[in-house]
Structure 1
Amino acid sequence: MLKPQVKQLIRETYQAISQSLPDYQVRKEQNYLVAEIAKTLAGEYDPQRRILVAEAGTGIGKSLAYLLGGLAVAQNQNKKLVISTATVTLQEQLINKDLPFFLQHSSLKFTFTLVKGRGRYCCEHKLREHADPQDGQQALWDEKPKKSDIDLIKRLFKAYQEGKWQGDRDTWPMPIADHVWQQIVADKHSCSRALSHHHQCPFHRARDELEKADVLIVNHALLLADTELGGGIILPDPDSCFYVMDEAHHLPSIARDFASANIAINASINWLGKLELLNRKIAQQVSGQSTMAPGSEMVSSALSIKQELGHVATFFNANTSLFQNESTYRFAMGELPEPLTVHACAIRDETKTCLKALNKLLSIIAEQLKDGDIKTKVAEPLMADVGSNVQRLENFFQLWFMLAKEPTGKHAPLACWAKRLEQTDADIMLAASPIEVGGLLENQLWSRAAGVFLCSATLTALNSFDFFRHQSGLKEQDGTQYLRLRSPFDYDKITLQIPPMRHEPGNDAYDKELCELIPALLAEKQGNLVLFASYWQMRLVAEKIKSKVKAPLLLQGELSRSQMLEQYKSRCDKGETAIMFGTGSLSEGLDLPGHYLTNLIITKLPFAVPTSPVEEAHAEWIESKGGNAFLQITIPEASKKLIQSCGRLVRKENDWGKITILDRRLVTRRYGKGLLDALPPFKRDIQY
């Protein structure tokens, strides 16, 4: 239950914050959201299932709400508040703006930190080794470094020594090239806290900050990486955390990408052949007989895997017709032909043996380094080499584990496919991915977390949470709470227009009609954004109408995003006509408040055609169960994307303007009404 003293603390904090914000307006939607977050995390609805899913429209103030409702309860119950986002932009807003303001003006005392993966930090010991010209550090590089590479590392080390740089790749003012960063990056094998000379490495110091902090800011990928490892490895244990999943609509797709794996057959054969050279290197540099048995087992297993991969390559060489029409062949219902299944099982088992031997070798090297039986300069490059092979073999095992898995009728099959890689001597890539990740999220996160708040401006599709619930593994009547709060903005200031048209998308004359209509729909001396279904369509229309339009057309892809927005906003600020053409990727995360956007044109409903093997497999699975993939996947996805696209015009309370949709299917097809009804209550001008 929510304790009276916690309620009082939230009220006091809310008052202090509201009085400190200029032009703050009380919003009942935000107050209600704060209360629901606090009650859910306190266990008032269900002490065993403290999960709240909330769709909160633009302008409600989600970040302030979950800080107000979540932090007080978290501190009262001695939990960490972990805020996970999908974008760097939101992370930066939280770290640089929202949290410092909240800390300054609230009565709550807390610390916060941004949590990044190990690969974003340098290793102090490696940095020192590479920056010392007396040490012959060039031998540690894969290729002979340029003078500019050495100079950069010296500058990095000097700044690090002087406290001007904390060893975080993202905070260096200029990009650090990958081949340079790989020489100094912290890795889990050679940059281990168990080694005394690595205690003060930036990654380990960052983890010390994590232990002390009350609020942790992470991204969805890092959170999923931790949960896949069992939780409590990178971040604190899930049962000691309240999670806030902002931009939660991205979570299912990120989880699916995270759980997928792929390998290239010939490249893998070549890599596995190098393990014999690695074994010789270990035998030469590590004293004693302890490495002989695991080294021999590693080489033997690698040889067996190579032979099995050779059989797999032979199968594809004998079945070139699989790639007759396209470069990708997907195995229907995730079922491999019997010969491939046999080889997949053998590779899975041998890989497990090889991985066990390689890990044993890594442990032996680490132990000898700890005991002083091997020099640091010898051990660390060796550990990094062995460690990178362990990591690669783990990814390799993940793929063959999935390919060897027998499909069952109970659960959705995996998407499994092969792709011919023309650029790499006709190598074949094998890949596998789950098509549904709800079970994964339930097992690794929802059932283990102390509490979860999931929020976004677009979590419903067709006015229902059903689509998101299915995607994310939440069940009806499982104790999860749901809340939908409309934006407090005055939508009467915005007109949704669907003009009469002669043709619909799919008709050959549709693009020609777009070229006729768009010039007349562009507003002079205003900010105009036109969203297209594809780059091809965007360029076609731009080419046809550029002579009819008085202002320059700024096309996505011709300039960098920042350059395009800078030129666009500059024209808006001067009161000139500004026109930006973009594709679906601009329908989310583009912030153009006020005069920066008053005229939005959406050319076509955002129906995604299932072109990727994963999307095709998902549609196939639904159809095989008697479902309708168009109604169950395509329409709900289009509903979310259309809401996001329209949301580009509604960023601030006083925003106004017009949204025009040039797709008559909204009024001619049965599904159109559902798509329209799911949009905010704009003033409508629809020609039926």
Structure 2
Amino acid sequence: MINKFVVIDLETTGNAPKKGDKIIQFAAVVIENGIITEKLSSLINPKKPIPAFIEELTGINDDMVKNAPLFSEIIPKVIPLLKGAYFVAHNVLFDLSFLQEELIQSGFEGFYGPVLDTVEMARILYPTADGYKLSDLAEKENLHHDRPHQADSDAQVTAELLLIFLERLSLLPQSTLRQLFQLSGGLKSDLHQLLDEIHIEKGKRIEQLPEAIELFKNLALKKQQEKVELIEDIAQYKYPVSEDEKIDMVKQGFEFFEKRTGQFLMMDGVFHSFLKEQHILIEAGTGVGKSLGYLLPISFFAKQKGHPIVVSTHTIQLQEQLIRNEIPLLAKILPFTINSVLLKGRNHYISLEKFYQSLLDENDNYDTTLTKMQILVWLLETETGDKDELNLSSGGLIYWNKIKNEPTVFLQDQVWQEKDFYLRAKKAAQEADIIITNHSLLLSDLSGERAILPAFDYCIIDEGHHFEKVASQFFGHSLDYLTTRLLIGKFGVYEQKLLFFQLEELLASKSVQIGNLVYTFELNRIITDLTYEMDEFFKLIALYAKTKSSQKKGYNRAKVRFSSEDQGKEKKALVNSAERFAFLLKDLYSAIMQRLEWIKKEKDSLSNEQKNLLEEIITFVNDLDALRNNVQDCFTKENNFVKWIEMDSRSPQNVTTFLAQPATVATALEEKFFKAKRGVVLTSATLTVNNSFEYIIKEIGLNPNTTSRISIPSPFDYQNQVQLLIPEDLPEINAVTLEEYVVAITEHIITIAEATKGRMLILFTAYDMLKKTYELIKESGFLNEYAMIAQGITSGSRTRLTRNFQRYDKAILLGTSSFWEGVDIPGEDLSCLVIVRLPFSPPDEPLTEAKCQLITQQGGNAFSDYSLPEAILRFKQGFGRLIRTEKDRGIMIVFDKRIVTTKYGKSFLKSIPSVLVKKGNMNELVELIHSWL
């Protein structure tokens, strides 16, 4: 067994040793028998200038390395370290390629021993980690990492991580180790050798599984804790009516308790609306403590009345916050136990049976292999089996589709049902007092066909300002080229397997062989025609969009309305193509179903591997049928939906989506949801416009006569926490071209950034303007010392971009759409918010246009009834990003002068808390920024 590991880290002039990039710093840490025994570190003279961005990243400059040794001079010290050892690095192929190049150029043999990659090991051993950068992992394990991007500091931290990884591997159950070993041949590193050694070593002792782990069908799983049912006399626990009673109860959960009168007001509003069986709208400003404001009263109501209560949110982040933070806090406060559960759609949960069968598959690609290894480790930790816990690559997400939980036809081994995560979640929901879910699942339950939620009469809709938009998407349809092509492309994987899916005695039959030939010919014809028609269909969608588009110069993305009144030849050609496409999808669906019915008769003779494949094929045909229904709903069925095309002119076919949504969902929600429920609380920080709930009531179909309303202001002192500045030396936004406006605001952004030292969030309403502004700032070079993070340009999710922004002292975050809300950056991490323009939806945006037309037809005013209130609610969401705690202070700058030059601009200012507003040219405002911050 190899007991020696050499952890290497290099800083280099670039990332291509074959193109002449060189090492500028070398560090090695030697681990023997589980302890660090030796270290070597040296700056290296690369005999070439160090690029500026490398100097900025590492802090190493030309002066520091000019008297340092050449790498060839330290090789005699390096080679003995490597002898008989694993070569270990964080992203090992990078460091190894540089080392090999230097060794060979200096006339030595390269390193040909085993290598380990700590990135790969981290992905497997920490399947739920947010990220796998060295600094992320160091933070996760509380390791001291004082000088990231300096080789000696990075090598030390990597070595400490390796020791933790080795310990974790040694604690894995034998069965998991064996399964990991069987998969590890497909990795980039030699982890298989290490796993084999650990497995052999563990095999010498009789294994005692940890108390929390059980073996089931050779899979090691975390044991599920059986919930002990407590019989409580709930009648003795009365809802706390007075303020003193509430204070006595709530302070149990806090070390330092601060009374929030607004929160108590919300509690009473929720409790009494449920008692009276009526719906209520509650706008609760930032800092009110909204989550506890509804969780406490519904806990009493659920227990006393025996009714389960559904809490629906828009974002996964809020669901996780409720489960991780708020529910444990509630448990400390309440004098009785409350049973809560998080419930998601079925395909969020893993099917253990499918996963177990997939472990037998061979010829996996790298992503699939790594994902299987991640899941094997995850099963030792997860209590939910929920995919959202995992950090999966895009390839891993494709593999997930093979093992997600779905109704099965061939795989129906009852033994697996007792460990089924989805069935367990459903059962838990049946027994729960509080069921946390999302708006989409809440709405999908309305159809009743695939009801997941147990029957319920009372509901909290948090992040309620999203409910209308989610309902529009739920009742609507969408088609995009890449998803469609990917789905139809799957047929190639299944075709041969489907054709020769017979038992040997059947294959011997001549009639079966002849039938196969006919069937093969027919399938090939259908798939050839279908592939051609699919391409033709999306080409015609793109052609229609191009013909009708009035795209502005400089913009790449366009939205084009697909009008029912249009009688042009482009529309006719597109509808005809849609009909042919739907017809061919039906043909393929029927042909495969016919074959499956034939195979089903031989069900008992099939192996588990065959059954697993057939389940995949059934999922595929169900997806085909759903696609056909989608095409028909969009093009051939009569409905009053608004239809439009979204495309990118740089790649019109590949980035083309066809959407159909109802112009209004008010009637559908009123009939199917609000009339069916006894009590619904809809809450958010942004529900009112000009202190009125009228807009939201109309949008979602609530009855204005029977719906209660409470508006609870934020407890923050905005007068002393915020200054709102409006530059007067910017052009009117609609009076100049996009390019001219971008030049003007870029100058201001640079000036503001220098005054605030970064810590800026800049909110745009259009991606094209964001991109052009980002490029111009970069081109100017004035903010080179700032970390520029831009949505859609810098890779990563919204959460990851926000976290990166918080990591740097001087940072600027540019965001659009989703960054207007849900981004929580408290304290000094965010001290300046810039709103580039008032967030009106473009009047030619198809859904906006349709809503406005409908309002006009009904005798209303489209601007004041829809466009203005919608923009104000978004503006309020943007404003809410700046002040997240009572200690925050910040500056908000609005570039759009319409906020003070137009009559309607006052409505924006009236809808946010009262703050100091100052106008002036940029030089005057910079002085204010300096004195304020």
TM-score with structure 2 length normalisation? Answer: 0.60
Contact (CA 8 Å) 1:420, 1:429: kept in 2 or not? no
Residue 273 to residue 108, structure 1, CA distance change in 2 (3 Å): closer
2:603 is the alignment partner of 1:384:
no
Of the three residues 909, 912, 919, the one matched with 1:676 is 909
Residue 113 to residue 269, structure 1, CA distance change in 2 (3 Å): closer
- In the TM superposition, residue 459 of structure 1 has moved relative to its aligned partner by 1.4
- In the TM superposition, residue 339 of structure 1 has moved relative to its aligned partner by 8.2
CA distance in 1, matches of 2:498, 2:897: 69
2:677 is the alignment partner of 1:449:
yes
- In the TM superposition, residue 243 of structure 1 has moved relative to its aligned partner by 1.7
Mean alpha-carbon deviation: is it higher for 423-432 or for 485-494? 423-432
Which residue does 1:437 correspond to in 2? Answer: 665
CA distance in 1, matches of 2:464, 2:831: 28
- In the TM superposition, residue 422 of structure 1 has moved relative to its aligned partner by 8.7
Which residue does 1:253 correspond to in 2? Answer: 469
Which residue does 1:145 correspond to in 2? Answer: 364
User: Residue 351 of structure 2 aligns to which amino acid in structure 1?
Assistant: C
Residue 619 to residue 303, structure 1, CA distance change in 2 (3 Å): farther
Q: Deviations over 1:220-253 (max 9, x none)?
A: 22222222x327711112xx24221111111222
Q: Deviations over 1:415-447 (max 9, x none)?
A: 255979996989986542223222332333222
- In the TM superposition, residue 458 of structure 1 has moved relative to its aligned partner by 0.8
Which residue does 2:396 correspond to in 1? Answer: 177
- In the TM superposition, residue 27 of structure 1 has moved relative to its aligned partner by 2.2
Residue 386 to residue 519, structure 1, CA distance change in 2 (3 Å): closer
- In the TM superposition, residue 675 of structure 1 has moved relative to its aligned partner by 1.6
Which residue does 1:539 correspond to in 2? Answer: 774
Residue 465 to residue 374, structure 1, CA distance change in 2 (3 Å): same
Which residue does 1:221 correspond to in 2? Answer: 440
- In the TM superposition, residue 274 of structure 1 has moved relative to its aligned partner by 8.5
Residue 346 to residue 71, structure 1, CA distance change in 2 (3 Å): farther
CA distance in 1, matches of 2:666, 2:825: 34
TM-score with structure 1 length normalisation? Answer: 0.79
Contact (CA 8 Å) 2:253, 2:330: kept in 1 or not? no
CA distance in 2, matches of 1:243, 1:363: 43
Residue 79 to residue 629, structure 1, CA distance change in 2 (3 Å): same
CA distance in 2, matches of 1:620, 1:262: 25
Contact (CA 8 Å) 1:592, 1:651: kept in 2 or not? yes
2:248 is the alignment partner of 1:15:
yes
Q: Deviations over 1:539-584 (max 9, x none)?
A: 266247652x696253323465566545654555xxxx65444445
Mean alpha-carbon deviation: is it higher for 218-227 or for 59-68? 218-227
Q: Deviations over 1:133-184 (max 9, x none)?
A: xxxx33xxxxx41377446536634763x56676433334665712432332
CA distance in 2, matches of 1:103, 1:457: 25
CA distance in 2, matches of 1:608, 1:31: 36
User: Residue 324 of structure 1 aligns to which amino acid in structure 2?
Assistant: T
Which residue does 1:30 correspond to in 2? Answer: 263
- In the TM superposition, residue 64 of structure 1 has moved relative to its aligned partner by 0.3
CA distance in 1, matches of 2:435, 2:598: 35
Q: What secondary structure sits across from 1:653 in the alignment?
A: coil
Q: What secondary structure sits across from 1:63 in the alignment?
A: helix
Contact (CA 8 Å) 1:230, 1:444: kept in 2 or not? no
Q: What secondary structure sits across from 1:476 in the alignment?
A: coil
Which residue does 1:662 correspond to in 2? Answer: 895
Output aligned runs, 1:62-461, within 5 Å: 62-132=290-360, 137-138=361-362, 144-146=363-365, 149-150=368-369, 152-153=371-372, 156-157=375-376, 160=379, 167-172=385-390, 175=393, 177-190=396-409, 195-227=414-446, 229-230=447-448, 233-237=451-455, 240-258=456-474, 259-262=476-479, 281=499, 284=502, 323-324=546-547, 326=549, 330-333=561-564, 369=603, 372=604, 375-406=607-638, 413-417=641-645, 431-461=659-689
CA distance in 2, matches of 1:580, 1:571: 11
CA distance in 2, matches of 1:418, 1:603: 24
Q: Deviations over 1:467-502 (max 9, x none)?
A: 32232222322x222221111211211222324335
CA distance in 2, matches of 1:145, 1:514: 51
Which residue does 1:141 correspond to in 2? Answer: none
Q: Deviations over 1:642-676 (max 9, x none)?
A: 11222122211232233222222112112111122
Output aligned runs, 1:499-648, within 5 Å: 499-501=727-729, 503-508=731-736, 510-522=741-753, 523-524=755-756, 527-533=759-765, 534-539=769-774, 542-543=777-778, 546-547=781-782, 552=786, 554-556=788-790, 557-558=793-794, 560=796, 565-566=802-803, 568-570=805-807, 579-610=812-843, 612-623=845-856, 627-648=860-881
CA distance in 2, matches of 1:681, 1:192: 62
User: Residue 88 of structure 1 aligns to which amino acid in structure 2?
Assistant: I
Q: Deviations over 1:68-124 (max 9, x none)?
A: 121211222222222211122211211111101111331131222222222222221
User: Residue 331 of structure 1 aligns to which amino acid in structure 2?
Assistant: F
Contact (CA 8 Å) 1:70, 1:81: kept in 2 or not? yes
Residue 159 to residue 618, structure 1, CA distance change in 2 (3 Å): closer
User: Residue 230 of structure 1 aligns to which amino acid in structure 2?
Assistant: G
User: Residue 614 of structure 2 aligns to which amino acid in structure 1?
Assistant: L
Identity level (%): 24
Q: What secondary structure sits across from 2:715 in the alignment?
A: coil
- In the TM superposition, residue 375 of structure 1 has moved relative to its aligned partner by 4.8
Residue 406 to residue 8, structure 1, CA distance change in 2 (3 Å): closer
Contact (CA 8 Å) 2:559, 2:845: kept in 1 or not? no
2:715 is the alignment partner of 1:488:
yes
User: Residue 491 of structure 1 aligns to which amino acid in structure 2?
Assistant: Y
Output aligned runs, 1:47-62, within 5 Å: 47=277, 50-62=278-290
Contact (CA 8 Å) 1:34, 1:69: kept in 2 or not? yes
Q: What secondary structure sits across from 1:633 in the alignment?
A: helix
Contact (CA 8 Å) 1:438, 1:471: kept in 2 or not? yes
Give unmatched runs, 5+ long, in structure 2.
Answer: 1-233, 507-514, 550-557, 922-933
Contact (CA 8 Å) 1:261, 1:398: kept in 2 or not? yes
CA distance in 2, matches of 1:568, 1:272: 39
Mean alpha-carbon deviation: is it higher for 87-96 or for 117-126? 117-126
User: Residue 209 of structure 1 aligns to which amino acid in structure 2?
Assistant: A
> Matched residue pairs, number?
649
- In the TM superposition, residue 393 of structure 1 has moved relative to its aligned partner by 0.6
User: Residue 562 of structure 2 aligns to which amino acid in structure 1?
Assistant: F
